[in-house]
Amino acid sequence: MPELPEVEVSRLGTAPHLVGQTITNLTIRQPRLRWPVPEQIADAIGHQINSVERRAKYLLIQLDVGTIVVHLGMSGSLRVLKTPTSPAKHDHVDMVLSNGVTLRYNDPRRFGCWLWFAKGENIELLSHLGPEPLTASFCLEYVWPLAQKRKITIKQFIMDNKVVVGVGNIYANEALFNAKISPLKSTHSVKKTDLKQLIEEIKHVLDNAIKQGGTTLNDFEQPDGKPGYFAQVLSVYGKEGEPCPICATKIRAQSIAKRNTFWCERCQSE
């Protein structure tokens, strides 16, 4: 499932081909994605793309007349085609640009979205979101008061998009391991110094993942393939029963709020 780093790499891989170009055509082969693709999205045709931005796991294609909001869902991907090819079964959307490039959206499970918001229209999907994790807004002064008011596990807390966006399950597991905090620990009982360390580790693992994804940027231009969700260098996620890379204790696994959770009981204090 694409998480924040994969979405950011998608932005980095596609933006150079989109910004400054005019949308000459939009082909919607499958309008029934997570939400129906609105007919008004055709209003974007004939207008220039000013920027491609990211908010949480949403891509925002900004035009003078409005914003196209794209989400990759659980299985979606984007591809840049310099030479048109016949669409495959799950190629649901084509955006054709004035430079001859086609941005193609593929989504086998159809949990992603393509939405349109006219200029000045409130994008409600984004209104409840917390700060971006890689910005200065995500800091101890912001997080500490919130943590003191909550009595949930620290893992649930950092995965709450109202607290901070984009800390998906993989990265929550890895950041907690790096910070030596048990995912079972109650939020209000985490020490201030430990919370500061956790914030730093969240930034570190996400930044690292984006850098690892840099090698896939050229994949966006491959007509016979899709950009893969790049291989991660992981310490605990998905490694139940394997030795901890620090102390060799077997990694434990448990479901927390219906999400697979992995940690080392010896290294991560509760």
Annotated binding-site residue numbers: 90, 109, 150
C-alpha torsion sign, points 50, 54, 55, 61:
positive
CA 178 → CA 141, 170, 190, 268, distances in Å? 21, 13, 15, 9
Known catalytic membership, residue 192: no
Q: Which tokens go with 204?
A: 């570190």
Q: Which one of 2, 133, 183, 227 is the catalytic residue?
A: 2
Helices (H) and strands (E) in the chain, counts: 6, 10
Residue whose tokens read 């007919």: 39
Do the beta carbons of residue 159 and residue 4 sit within 8 Å?
Answer: no
Q: Which one of 3, 6, 8, 174 is the catalytic residue?
A: 3
Known catalytic membership, residue 54: no
Q: Which one of 34, 196, 239, 259 is the catalytic residue?
A: 259
Q: Which one of 54, 57, 79, 104 is the catalytic residue?
A: 57
Known catalytic membership, residue 185: no
How would you list the strands of the sheet with 91-97, edge to edge?
23-28, 91-97, 102-106, 77-81
Known catalytic membership, residue 2: yes
CA 45 → CA 28, 85, 92, 120, 188, distances in Å? 13, 21, 17, 18, 50
Which residues are part of a known binding site for DNA? 90, 109, 150
Q: Which residue numbers are catalytic?
A: 2-3, 57, 259
